């Protein structure tokens, strides 16, 4: 990790998973309660560096998770875990639309 004269931080490439989910309004509180119970367990998964949850300001039914991983392999190990399978099975029951996911490499961060 290096900092140049313009305060631009160059990072070791980091694997980021972004998931967009849309929920029925009546299930938002249930999802938030479930996420609150599971977030620490997810974050403690091998290779998970960060876990964030966002809610859209204009459409409260839309949520996004950002999770940072050491590698794609770490994410795949988590996705094959009982924790993920149980969490995703419950989460899917709240959806009002098909979820979308992106896997990206974080290259630069400005501080």
Q: What tens digit of pLDDT does each residue of 11-49 get?
A: 566 789 999 999 999 999 999 999 999 999 999 999 999
Number of domains observed in the structure of the chain: 1
Give the pLDDT confidence of 57-98 residue by residue, as tens digits: 999 999 999 999 999 999 999 999 999 999 999 999 999 999
- 46 lies in a domain? yes
Q: For residue 23, what is the domain's CATH number?
A: 3.30.70.100
The answer to whether residue 73 is domain-embedded is yes
Domain coverage including residue 56:
12-110
The Cα-based distances of 50 to 7, 54, 63, 64, 102 in angstroms read 22, 13, 17, 14, 16
Residue 5 is assigned to a structural domain of this protein: no
Q: What does the block give as tokens for 68?
A: 């940072």
Question: Does residue 25 belong to any structural domain of this protein?
Answer: yes
Residue 1 lies inside a defined structural domain of this protein: no
Is 7 a domain residue? no
pLDDT at 108 over 90: no
Q: pTM score, two decimals?
A: 0.85
4 within some domain:
no
Query: 31 in a domain, yes or no?
Result: yes
* CA neighbor of 23 nearest in space, from 81, 63, 74: 63
């Amino acid at each position: 990790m290096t900092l140049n004269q313009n305060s631009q931080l160059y990072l070791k490439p980091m694997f980021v998973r972004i998931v967009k989910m849309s929920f029925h309004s009546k299930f938002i509180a249930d999802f938030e309660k479930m996420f609150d119970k599971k977030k620490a367990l997810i974050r403690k998964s091998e290779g998970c560096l960060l876990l964030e949850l966002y809610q859209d300001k204009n459409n409260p039914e839309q949520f996004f998770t950002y999770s940072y991983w050491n590698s794609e392999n770490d994410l795949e190990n988590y996705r094959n875990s009982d924790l993920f399978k149980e969490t995703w099975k419950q989460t899917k029951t709240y959806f009002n639309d098909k979820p979308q996911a992106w896997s990206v490499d974080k290259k630069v961060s400005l501080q």
